[in-house]
């Protein structure tokens, strides 16, 4: 790390000491009297005081620290004015400051699953949700990676306003938020992702050529018959929901509009389009059975 000027180095030591000692009132006082305090790196990993506050889950402190850079006494001018008019956060804004892993405070808030802090940071700075760290992961991606459903939904709801959520769903390895949620066995979150991004992600491939269904089918512990059944048989077995023994009471994949041949094509990712309704419907069925939800009633309710 580059050597800091003596004055900045002393500032960093003081900020770190106060933060570790939970003396946030002193940190806030420095922020009020010296706007440059926002940009001071306090640790070897290049965290700012705001990074530390987020990791310590100091919600009130985070709200105050986020608010301070926006309370400038002077009118906006130049690039700052253009950025505001375009709905962008200026690149020199403290909220864009990333640590050595490329994580901004919003990345950290999403990673630890604090929906309140995610909302506080992203509501007025929506473009931060698209910021990528060194692994090309966005805050939305990290929320899914760590199974933080409330933080994920908070960021998703903010992104709905500009319709850009689908742009932030992959990392540099091609994994999507749906791959991550299934791999982490966060099935409630995976269901939410399927509901909101299914048309885009249901038949997507990661770097290893796997679709989300491949991942789901590779988890024998989820299926009653364990690893003795093949990939497609396990999925079929788990997605057939019988209500009683009568033929009329049975709900099968076939009467949901998915033939066995079509099922094989879907499972192997041979879908003509990511918008294929059969693919999404089958993934819904799989997710709902894993979650113990009545798949027929829920699908019918969604389509009503």
Choose between 208 and 243: higher pLDDT. 208
Q: pTM here?
A: 0.75
Cα separation of 97 and 102, whole Å?
A: 8
pLDDT greater than 50 at residue 202: yes
The pLDDT score that the predictor gives to residue 191 is 86
Other C-beta atoms lying within 10 Å of the C-beta of residue 87: 11
Question: What does residue 241 show for φ and ψ, rounded to 5 degrees?
Answer: -115, 115
Please tell me the distance from the alpha carbon of residue 98 to that of residue 283, in angstroms, as a whole number.
36
pLDDT over threshold 90, residue 37: no
Model pLDDT for residues 26-35, shown as the tens digit of each residue: 999 998 888 7
Model confidence at 61: pLDDT above 60:
yes
Angle subtended by helix axes 105-112 and 59-67, to nearest 10 = 160
> Taking a C-beta distance cutoff of 8 angstroms, is the pair 242, 295 a contact?
no
Q: How far apart are CA 282 and CA 11, in angstroms?
A: 57
Classify strands 241-242 and 250-251 as parallel, antiparallel or unpaired: antiparallel
Structure tokens of 154? 């908070």
Lowest average pLDDT, out of 25-39, 133-147, 229-243, goes to 229-243
Exposure string of 1-14, with b = 16+ CB inside 10 Å and e = fewer, is eeeeeeeeeebbeb
How many helices (H) does the chain have, and how many strands (E)? Answer: 16, 2
Q: Is 293 a residue whose pLDDT tops 60?
A: no
């Amino acid at each position: 790390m580059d050597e800091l000027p003596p004055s900045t180095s002393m500032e960093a030591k003081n900020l770190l000491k106060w933060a570790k000692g939970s003396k946030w009132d002193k940190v806030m006082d420095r922020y009020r009297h010296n706007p440059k305090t926002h940009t001071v790196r306090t640790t070897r990993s290049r965290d700012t005081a705001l990074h530390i506050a987020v990791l310590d889950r100091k919600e009130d402190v985070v709200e105050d620290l986020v608010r301070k850079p926006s309370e400038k006494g002077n009118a906006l001018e130049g690039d700052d004015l253009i950025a505001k008019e375009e709905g962008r956060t200026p690149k020199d804004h403290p909220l864009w400051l990333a640590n050595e892993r490329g994580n901004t405070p919003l990345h950290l808030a999403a990673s630890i699953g604090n929906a309140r802090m995610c909302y506080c940071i992203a509501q007025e700075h929506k473009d931060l949700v698209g910021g990528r760290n060194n692994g090309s992961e966005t805050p939305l991606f990290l929320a899914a990676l760590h199974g933080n459903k409330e933080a994920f939904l908070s960021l998703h709801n903010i992104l709905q306003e500009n319709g850009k959520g689908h742009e932030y769903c992959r990392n540099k390895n091609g994994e999507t938020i749906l791959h991550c949620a299934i791999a982490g066995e966060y099935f409630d979150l995976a269901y939410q992702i399927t509901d909101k991004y299914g048309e885009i992600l249901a038949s997507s491939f990661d770097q290893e050529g796997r679709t989300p269904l491949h991942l789901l089918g590779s988890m024998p512990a989820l299926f009653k018959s364990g690893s003795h059944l093949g990939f497609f048989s396990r999925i079929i077995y788990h997605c057939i929901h019988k209500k009683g023994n009568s033929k009329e009471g049975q709900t099968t994949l076939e009467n949901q509009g998915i033939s066995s041949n079509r099922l094989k094509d879907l499972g192997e990712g041979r879908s003509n389009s990511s918008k294929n309704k059969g693919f999404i419907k089958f993934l819904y069925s799989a997710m709902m059975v894993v979650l113990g939800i009545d798949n027929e009633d829920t699908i019918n309710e969604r389509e009503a």
